[in-house]
Structure 1
Amino acid sequence: MEWYFALAFLISMVIGLMFFAVPVAFAFMATNIIGSLVFIGGAGALLQVVDNSTSLITRFQLAPVPFFIFMGSLFFYSGLAIRVFDTLDKFFGRIPGRLCYLTVAGGTIFSTLTGSSMANTAMLGSLMVPEMQRRGYHWRMSLGPILGTGGLAMIIPPSTLGVLLASLAGIDVGRFLIAGIVPGVLLALFFAILITVQIRVNPSLTPSYDIEEVSWGRGLKLALVNIVPMALVVFMVIGLIIFGIATPTESAAFGVVGVLILTVAFRLFSLSVLKQSMLSTVKVSGMVFFIILNSSIFSQLLAYSGASSGMLNFATSFDVSIALVLVTIFLSLLLLGMFMDPVSIMLITIPIFFPLIAALDINPLWFGILMLIALEMSQTTPPFGLLLFVMLGVAPKGTTLRHVAIAAAPFLGCDLLLIGLMALFPGIVLFLPGLM
């Protein structure tokens, strides 16, 4: 079977099952079973699916993921997240659309504490959307900033995907994580500018209401008490990696210890908080690993059938300029990200793309950040962007995939702007790693 027929067969099966309201993970699972029978055949196909399932979700590179999710759960259920958001809320005062700016600022901070775009989006959605709806914010302003900021966790360290990508590509993990700081902060700044433009163009998107005014002195005191201590956790996660004291998995565990120390220091720790955090970690980790499992098997089917290699070979077989090669790679990642999880995409594409960019003499740190941004964009690109479905899970009843996709679209434009600036000024990515 030609690669394009195999690709069409597998993708149309997933789309068809989802059309009949089959959940995404189960649609992939059914496609994996049927696809294995078609392309491999016999009872051995099902045994192969089972064998791959266990090997795929027991990779050591995925070990930091539950720790980062646990860290984020503790941060949320203990009330530390509320303290941070309340403090930031007081700083924004009477600024129009302050909850949108609060989402960007708080989400950027939370990105440094979770490393998981899924956890970041879920936390922001469950925390901010109900409040925005209650205040009368338009759905575009309540969903869009959360989807944009949620993806920052892919870029701003400690990025779970960043650690995995660096490990698979043979890049120094510490330097690669540091390389994501400036692009991540710039992206957050672009989001804030975009929100300002949206409000100026249509002020009715964000209502005005009275709030308590706080003096700068009291606001500064609140910041020193509630925000500055979070630097401890950031150091325990990032600093230990940068200075070579701990592996990414060990630093993730130290991050959990850091959040626990803060919960005790602020007298927010209790057995109930610990139980809720652990249950949430198990649920979210289970969902993440189940999706990774099915998407990874799906990517193996694409590879086994020749669909993925055929598509990538087709995309990279033309004798063209470096810029066009990078655009083609970017579009390939965006396309693959509509149907597969980022881990599976990296497993497929890293062995192909990194030798190619090495031959083209492209800096691997710069290309790795470009790849993360492309993967972040793909997670908010319909029809199968994972963060779109995470947002649907926490959004109010009546919210559709169309609403979520429309709200996310302007923030994808900010990603494209950042990529353009990175191409013009590579120092945005390479300056900080160059100081190490």
Structure 2
Amino acid sequence: MALIVLLFAVLGSGLWIGLSLLAVALVGMELFTSRPVGDSMVLTIWGSTSSWTLTALPLFLWMGEILFRSKLSDDMFKGLAPWLDRLPGRLLHTNVVGCTIFAAISGSSAATCATIGKITLPELQKRGYPDDIAVGTLAGAGTLGLLIPPSIIMIVYGVAANVSIAKLFLAGVIPGLLLAALFMGYIVVWALLHKDQVPAADAAMSFGQKIHASRHLIPVVSLIALVLGGIYSGIATATEAAALGVGGALLLAKMEGSLDWARFKDGLTAACRVYCMIGLILAGAAFLTLAMGFIGLPRHLAEFIGALQLSPFALMLLLVVFFIVLGCFLDGISMVVLTIAVLLPTVEAAGFDLIWFGVFIVLVVEMAQITPPVGFNLFVLQGLTKRDVTWIARTAWPLFVLMMAAVMLTYFVPDVVLWLPRQMQA
């Protein structure tokens, strides 16, 4: 208990999360075990950061940074807008569809939210769409960057739980598309109830003109096909597909004339900076997990939860509350690496499939992304809109409820998650 209190105290002090985890683990090992601390720390940090599977992480980060700095994201809006202008809610749907597409080439919630937000929010504001619905739908849809493959957090979970990353990616496809459909359904309902707040449609375009405008989507769709096609066809591992994605993103950016030395350097620097942050968190969490293992905390926690004699459904609800509360203090990756080793024995004993549990965690972490005070998407949107975080959180509340509905659906109909991975086994 003392370690948990110390951890939250150190995290609340503002110290970097990775260093906080390392410090608490160091104190725990020193005070409560007789193990050699130095050797344990070195071996654990090396083991947690030298995994070949983890190599996909910086590559996907770099791919997202290249696209973030290119014209491909602007082209995506041009290609989508003509097809969405006749739906109830009109161009509000560009938030959801744009995030869904960009999520399939980014892997990051923050990158997805920032990139699509920079494109759609000025356009929607200029055309007279209400700020609250525009920002709220973007806050929710931006979280799809975590769920729709390739997903950075799924790679982290796959390494931590020792499950197939390719199967995890497959498992995220249907829930991701389902969530996008729920978000678009919410926009339709809102638009039908607030017809006076929806601006008039642009000039009508013929089918041929829409097809011509769709040419802007070809580069993005091609890159998605390259990355995901390589993984699902078995031609490439997740790491090799990430390398293909980086090469494809560099080639597309060069072909369209938006790749110069300054952008190349900025993209590479930003990807390295983010990965170093994630790597430090992974190292700290791995050492803290080891320390907690030596102290016996995972066993005690599992025994405590087991003593509650919860049904699988009650356990699932408890974990939802647990992760949402944890999300008030930690980012998604920290939540996963810090808790997985502790929770896996309990989860397996309850009969949960580890692939299903990976998608469940991502869905709940998505909810935490729009939960104050440490909702990453809220911070991203605050930077874009200069609005108060609590206002942004209120606009995203209906999307939070829809995510909870998606969690319930995946629990009662697990094939929503597991059907595609089973096809891979077949």
Common topology (TM > 0.5): yes
Alignment of 1:21-420 (within 5 A): 26=15, 28=17, 60-93=52-85, 95=87, 97-203=89-195, 206-209=197-200, 211-223=202-214, 225-263=215-253, 267-272=255-260, 275-283=262-270, 285-287=272-274, 289-290=276-277, 293=280, 297=284, 304=291, 309=298, 314-315=304-305, 317-393=307-383, 395-397=384-386, 399-420=387-408
Identity of aligned residues (%): 28
Partner of 1:11: 8
Displacement of 1:183 after TM fit?
0.6
* Counterpart residue type for residue 432 of structure 1: L
State how far apart, in whole Å, the 2-side matches of 1:311 and 1:409 are.
Answer: 32
Question: CA separation in 2, counterparts of 1:46 and 1:209?
Answer: 66
Contact residue 302 and residue 308 of structure 1 kept, 8 A: no
Deviation at 1:76, TM superposition (A): 3.5
* 1:253 shift after superposition: 1.0
Q: CA deviation at 1:421?
A: 1.5
Q: Deviations over 1:78-100 (max 9, x none)?
A: 31111121111111225454332
Task: Tell me the amino acid that sits aligned with residue 374 of structure 1.
Answer: V
Q: Secondary structure at the match of 1:180?
A: helix
Q: CA separation of 1:167/1:50 partners in 2, compared to 1, >3 Å: closer, same or farther?
A: closer
TM-score normalised by structure 2 residue count: 0.84
Q: Which 10-residue stretch deviates more, 110-119 or 27-36? A: 27-36
Structure 1: 5+ residue runs without aligned partners?
A: 18-23
* 8 Å CA contact retained: 1:163, 1:173: yes
2: CA distance between counterparts of 1:56 and 1:220?
A: 48
Residue 8 of structure 1: how far off its partner (Å): 4.0
| CA-to-aligned-CA distance 1:379-428 (integer Å, 9 cap, x gap) | 222221222222223x223x111012112221111111111211222221
CA distance in 1 between partners of 2:282 and 2:186 (Å): 33
* Cα distance in 2 between the residues matched to 1:53 and 1:255: 28
Q: Is 1:434 aligned to residue 409 of structure 2?
A: no
One-letter code aligned to 2:407? I
Q: Is the CA contact 1:129–1:142 (under 8 Å) kept in the aligned structure 2?
A: yes
Q: Give the letter for the 2:225 counterpart.
A: F
Counterpart CA distance in 2 for 1:113 and 1:422 is: 24
Q: Determine the C-alpha separation between the residues in 2 that align with 1:47 and 1:355.
A: 26
Specify the SS of the correspondent of 1:368. helix
Aligned residues: CA RMSD: 3.4
- Flag the 1:86–1:32 CA change in 2: closer, same or farther, 3 A: same
Distance, in Å, in 2 between the alignment partners of 1:425 and 1:108 is 22
Equivalent pair of 2:191/2:198 in contact (CA under 8 Å): no
Q: Distance in 2 between matches of 1:221 and 1:106?
A: 18
CA distance in 1, matches of 2:94, 2:155: 28
CA contact (8 A) 1:33 1:46 kept: no
Is the CA contact 2:285–2:338 (under 8 Å) kept in the aligned structure 1? no
Judge which range, 84-93 or 379-388, deviates more. 379-388
Aligned residues: 417
CA spacing shift, 1:258–1:28, aligned 2, 3 Å: closer
TM-score (norm 1): 0.82
Q: Assess if the C-alpha contact under 8 Å between 1:114 and 1:120 holds in 2.
A: yes
Helix, strand or coil at the partner of 2:235: coil
Q: What's 1:20 paired with?
A: none
The answer to whether the Cα contact below 8 Å between 1:6 and 1:307 also exists between their aligned partners in 2 is no
1:280-314, Cα deviation, whole Å (9 max, x unpaired): 34225414533663586478669858797576764
2:364–2:407 Cα contact (<8 Å) kept: no
Give the CA deviation at 1:112.
0.6
Q: 1:58 to 1:133 in 2, by over 3 A?
A: farther
TM-superposed deviation, 1:166: 2.2
Residue range with higher mean Cα deviation, 128-137 or 383-392: 128-137
Task: State the alpha-carbon separation in 2 of the partners of residues 285 and 234 from structure 1.
Answer: 23
* Matches of 1:111 and 1:59, distance apart in 2: 24
- Between 1:50-59 and 1:384-393, the stretch displaced more is 50-59
**Aligned equivalents of 1:388 and 1:203: distance in 2?**
27
Paired letter, 1:247: T
Range with greater deviation from structure 2 (400-409 or 183-192): 400-409
Asked if the contact 1:28/1:294 (under 8 Å) is kept, the reply is yes
Return the match for 1:421 from 405, 409, 417.
Answer: 409
